């Protein structure tokens, strides 16, 4: 465990600054501006392992490098998925790659969702937009070891029905009695029969056992901030809540200072933090 209480795994590569060439096996569009790159680790990284919530630095030769969370199942190591929102130079160029292209990878980096903290407890996962990507490996892990947990609740919000990620899986989880899946959208369409409203509106459909629930949160910062307020209203102790934060990254190993968040570097102590460590920073706009 790291000093902040979140688990950290050893880097796959001896030198964490060395980029490894990996091949794109598949590029799947999740919605209009988000795609999943499935990477074949092949011979380049045969011993690669990661923990749910960790990220890699994905490098497009000649263009640049970006931090991207790993979105695949940690138990399946032949391929590694990264779900990427097309926002700027590198992510737009990555979206134009195709099967067989080679890109660079280094990692895994950062802390992970503390899976052990949830054992024997109810689990509540609260996520919005692309925030579901770093939580998907956690959901896979929990479902694989389902008997170790109490209730498992997944709350997910998207801008519109077409913006929702992993729609096939969401439907599968929705039909799986082992997980309570609640989905909402900010704006519905003629096909949408579910809830309309921000993700915190989903709390009105469930009653949480405050003392016995561990909560994992990832999404836009404003969404996480209001989720924390909602959890506080419901009496969930801060030490039972974990959040994943994002900042621009360069080195990913604690040297350059790009990812500073208050007194911490997200690449080293984060991205996953226990709430008490960062609660006072959530309300500060300038960070």
Ligand X SMILES: Cc1cc2nc3c(=O)[nH]c(=O)nc-3n(C[C@H](O)[C@H](O)[C@H](O)COP(=O)(O)OP(=O)(O)OC[C@H]3O[C@@H](n4cnc5c(N)ncnc54)[C@H](O)[C@@H]3O)c2cc1C
Query: Can you give the binding site for ligand X, defined by CB under 6 A?
Result: 55, 64, 66-69, 83-85, 87-91, 130, 133-134, 246-249, 266, 271
Q: Are 39 and 64 in contact (CB under 8 A)?
A: no
Q: Judged by CB, which is closer to ligand X: 83, or 213?
A: 83
Q: Are 113 and 52 in contact (CB under 8 A)?
A: yes
- With tokens 């590694």, the residue in question is 80
Q: Judged by CB, which is closer to ligand FES: 55, or 140?
A: 55
242 binds ligand FES (CB under 6 A): no
Q: Which of 149, 203, 265, 273 binds ligand FES (CB under 6 A)?
A: 265
Residue 275's SS3 state is: helix
Kindly tell me the sign of the dihedral angle through the C-alpha atoms of 214, 219, 224, 227: negative
CB of 126 to ligand FES, least distance (A): 26
Q: How many CB atoms lie within 10 A of CB 33?
A: 15
* Residue 91 interacting entry, from ligand X, ligand FES, none, C-beta within 5 to 8 Å by type: ligand X
11 binds ligand FES (CB under 6 A): no
CB of 109 to ligand FES, least distance (A): 9
Residue 24's SS3 state is: strand
For the chain, the farthest-separated pair of C-alpha atoms sits apart, in whole angstroms, at 53
258 binds ligand FES (CB under 6 A): yes
Q: Judged by CB, which is closer to ligand FES: 26, or 250?
A: 250
Q: Judged by CB, which is closer to ligand X: 34, or 141?
A: 34
CB of 247 to ligand FES, least distance (A): 8
The span from the CA of 16 to the CA of 12, in Å, is 8
Q: Which stretch binds ligand FES (CB under 6 A): 5-13, 71-79, 202-210, 243-251?
A: 243-251
The span from the CA of 283 to the CA of 204, in Å, is 24
- With tokens 């794109």, the residue in question is 24
Tokens of 85: 């929102």
Give, as ranges, the residues between 86 and 145 that touch ligand FES (CB under 6 A): none
DSSP at 252: S
Q: In the complex, which residues of this chain contact ligand FES (CB under 6 A)? A: 249-252, 254-259, 265, 267
């Amino acid at each position: 465990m790291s000093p902040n209480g979140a688990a950290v795994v050893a880097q796959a590569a001896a030198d964490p600054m060395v980029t490894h060439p990996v091949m794109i096996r598949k590029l799947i569009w999740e919605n209009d501006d988000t795609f999943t790159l499935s990477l074949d680790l092949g011979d380049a990284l045969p011993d690669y392992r990661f923990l749910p919530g960790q990220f890699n630095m994905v490098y497009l030769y000649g263009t640049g490098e970006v931090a991207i969370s790993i979105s695949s199942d940690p138990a399946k190591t032949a391929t590694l998925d990264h779900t990427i929102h097309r926002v700027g130079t590198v992510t737009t160029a990555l979206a134009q790659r195709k099967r067989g292209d080679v890109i660079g990878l280094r990692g895994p980096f950062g802390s992970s969702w503390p899976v052990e903290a949830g054992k024997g407890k109810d689990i509540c996962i609260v996520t919005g937009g692309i925030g579901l990507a770093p939580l998907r490996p956690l959901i896979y892990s929990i479902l694989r070891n389902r008997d170790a947990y109490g209730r498992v609740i997944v709350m997910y919000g998207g801008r519109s029905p077409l913006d929702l990620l992993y729609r096939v899986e969401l439907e599968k989880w929705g039909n799986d009695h082992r997980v309570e899946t609640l989905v909402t959208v900010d704006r519905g369409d003629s096909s949408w029969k579910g809830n309309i409203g921000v993700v915190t509106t989903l709390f009105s459909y469930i009653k949480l056992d405050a003392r016995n629930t561990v909560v994992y949160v990832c999404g836009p910062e404003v969404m996480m901030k209001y989720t924390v307020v909602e959890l506080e209203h419901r009496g969930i102790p801060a030490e039972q809540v974990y959040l994943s934060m994002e900042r621009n990254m360069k080195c990913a190993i604690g040297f350059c200072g790009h990812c500073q968040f208050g007194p911490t570097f997200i690449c080293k102590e984060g991205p996953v933090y226990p709430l008490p460590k960062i609660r006072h920073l959530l309300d500060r706009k300038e960070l």
